[in-house]
């Protein structure tokens, strides 16, 4: 099973104006762990039906401040009806 993680990381910022100072932003991202190497932490926002992680965000390891491993245990699930879906447009 693919691990769900919360990553707190410092984003790189560029300011092309005449300002002489700018600050990096601290960002929190949640996703499915794809890779945790020496250089990168890669997480994805989606899982395919075959379990592949998709929608990858690659964060340089030097920007990662904290990784929290989350539980995927569901406390409640709900079935969603697709009876109003228009199959010709794939819209609800």
Q: Looking at the domain assignment, is residue 36 inside a domain?
A: yes
Of the candidates 68, 70, 86, 64, the one whose C-alpha atom is nearest the C-alpha of residue 3 is: 70
Q: Could you list the residue range(s) of the whole structural domain that residue 36 is in?
A: 4-70
As for how many domains the chain has, the answer is 1
Q: Looking at the domain assignment, is residue 40 inside a domain?
A: yes
Q: Looking at the domain assignment, is residue 86 inside a domain?
A: no
Q: Looking at the domain assignment, is residue 85 inside a domain?
A: no
pLDDT digits (tens, 9 = 90+) for 8-26: 999 988 888 887 888 899 9
pLDDT at residue 62 greater than cutoff 70: yes
User: Where in the chain does DSSP place strands (E)?
Assistant: 4-11, 25-36, 40-47, 53-60, 64-70
Q: Looking at the domain assignment, is residue 79 inside a domain?
A: no
Q: Looking at the domain assignment, is residue 22 inside a domain?
A: yes
Q: Looking at the domain assignment, is residue 81 inside a domain?
A: no
Cα 83 from Cα 92, distance rounded (Å): 9
Q: Please tell me whether the overall predicted TM-score, pTM, comes out greater than 0.85 for this model.
A: no
What is the rounded average pLDDT of the residues 67-76? 81
Q: Looking at the domain assignment, is residue 61 inside a domain?
A: yes
């Amino acid at each position: 099973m693919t691990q769900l993680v919360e990553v707190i990381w410092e984003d790189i910022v560029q300011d092309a104006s005449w300002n002489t100072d700018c600050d990096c932003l601290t960002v929190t991202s949640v996703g499915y762990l794809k890779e945790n190497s020496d250089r990168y932490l890669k997480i994805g926002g989606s899982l395919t039906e075959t379990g592949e992680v998709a929608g990858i965000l690659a964060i340089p390891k030097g920007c990662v401040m904290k990784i929290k491993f989350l539980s995927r245990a569901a406390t409640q699930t709900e079935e969603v009806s697709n009876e109003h879906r228009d199959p010709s447009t794939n819209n609800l």
